[in-house]
Amino acid sequence: MTGIVPAPAALTFLEHVAPYRLAPPTRIVAPGEAHPIGLLLATELRVATGFDIPVVHGDAGAADISLVLNDGFYAVEQTSVESYTLEVSHAGVIIEARATAGLYRGTRSLRQLLPARIGDDDHGRAFGDDDDHGGASGDDDGLAFGGWVAPAVSVSDAPRFDYRGAMLDVVRHFFPVEDVLRFIDALALLKINVLHLHLTDDQGWRIQIDSWPELTGIGASTAVGGARGGFYSKSDYRRIVDYAAERFLTIVPEIDLPGHTNAALSAYAELNHDGVARSPYEGVEVGFSSLSAAPERAEATDQFLEDVLREVAELTPGPWLHIGGDESLSTSKADYRALVERITTTAASMGKTVIGWHEIGASPSLPADTIAQYWSYLEPQGDAASLTRSVVEQGGQVIMSPADVAYLDIQHVGSQPTPHGYPLGLDWANGPTSLDDALAWEPTEIVPGIAEAQILGVEAPLWTETACTISDVEFLAFPRIAAIAEIGWSPLPGAEGRDRDGFVARLSGLGAHWDAAGTVYCAVDGVPWHTDLAATT
């Protein structure tokens, strides 16, 4: 038995209780607000099993899956909207929660308890044929090797941190909508609840802005190394937002300011200090671009900020708007503070909570609820700790993304093959980064003077200088992002630290789920990867 990733707050395998069997008569009982979650789960289960799996109201029967909303519910003494309980036995499955988000998280645990082939998108494929992927068996319910069975368990679960994120840089290399949706599905299985999209940088501008059309007309044409550019239309972006919301992920858009702005500066001359448009950029250097704080450019800069941030905020139903703020090395300290104040004030005026990389702590006039995203090392470099504390001292919180353990673009340890045979990943952040590195850190122990209550959560960023395809992205992200999900969701470990052996045992079974879904991952050493898609967790 390998269990669930991330580890639930409490899980008991019921050794003397018969397991659950998903079978042709199975229904999903999901009344009221639970109904959409039931439909989503049914769609997933139908694809793999070929069963009808109707979604119904009313009383549950044998073999049914019940989704129960209960306003008075709480799990493990927590009131998080993501908390849930999961009861699995021969009599059926019951997932109970006080909110729909909790029901959905419970379905992700159930997915991991079922055989990995439940994530296979080849309709009705049966276990056990001679080829690697199975085939029709002639069995009337498509079952072999024990069938679609989940062990009898009792789970009571809730997240440690409210924010558990991944970041995808779609600028240095652009990824079409379908790739982003595929990534969202893989994140959702790990109970990740935020996808931060890095939408603008020196190499490109990836989001349609009606009031400044050349941001995409000119600024979207480039990517690193001459790769294909591109951008998301507003309908594309809404599709991503809606798809994520159905899976209880919030999209956080990042408009990187005041540095990392060459794409904008190449599109509009009036944003440049000297009034001359910059050349498009396809390299990987940082720190050379900046909006102008000069008085003669103030009107254009302020209009640009107002229009861009308004349009992005209007497209984004989530509470957060990321304004970047990192590596603005060509901006004077005085200009940087002035620009950050203007940018954060404008973003907050759109009704959004501002997130920025920890450098924004250089401004003494941030909105009170601003969030700093810490991206220095486990041992803070330079003034990273003091800048992060500055944001907290102004009434803000912190997202922890220490680069030497949480950055997914850093190379894996070892010489594992890459999806396409070319070098993949960087090593600047004390790399390569091992799976153990990604697991063995504690968010409260990085910046002195910051308490757990001041930490909103954790995020694993993935920059795409070397990642050209979604397979590259997945290879870099998995399995290390599972360790970050564990840190964000699972209970605070004891004095002995996280249970590395227990994590590896649970992770070993997750590899088969990734195989079934077609998710590329790096089969790092030290994990006894399971490849049997028919095995029960």
At 136-170, the pLDDT tens digits run 233 334 444 468 999 999 999 999 999 999 999 99
Spatial distance between the Cα atoms of 521 and 504, rounded to a whole number of angstroms? 15
Query: Checking DSSP bridges between strand 84-89 and strand 92-97, what pairing results, if any?
Result: antiparallel
Whether 87 is covered by a domain: the verdict is: yes
Query: What CA–CA distances, in Å, run from 258 to 224, 271, 289, 338, 369?
Result: 20, 11, 8, 10, 20
Catalytic residue of the set 214, 327, 393, 465: 327
For residues 138 and 169, membership in a common domain is answered with no
**Across 30-37, average pLDDT:** 98
16: CB partners within 8 A, 6+ apart: none
Active-site annotation holds for 282:
no
- pLDDT, residue 416, reads 67
For residues 272 and 137, membership in a common domain is answered with no
Say how many domains are in the chain: 2
**Domain range for residue 275?**
163-489
Q: How many residues are given for the chain?
A: 537
**Comparing 198-212, 274-288, 428-442, 491-505, which segment has the lowest mean pLDDT?**
491-505
383-441: pLDDT as tens digits: 999 999 999 999 999 999 999 999 999 999 986 667 777 779 999 999 999 999 999 99
Give, in degrees to the nearest 5, the angle at Cα 163 between 160 and 164: 85
For residues 69 and 49, membership in a common domain is answered with yes
| Gyration radius of the chain over CA positions | 24
Query: What CA–CA distances, in Å, run from 27 to 43, 214, 314, 335?
Result: 12, 52, 39, 61
- pLDDT, residue 326, reads 99
Query: What CA–CA distances, in Å, run from 445 to 145, 442, 448?
Result: 47, 6, 7
Q: Can you count the helices (H) and strands (E) in the chain?
A: 14, 19
Whether 26 is covered by a domain: the verdict is: yes
**Comparing 19-33, 126-140, 290-304, which segment has the lowest mean pLDDT?**
126-140
Whether 263 is covered by a domain: the verdict is: yes
Whether 97 is covered by a domain: the verdict is: yes
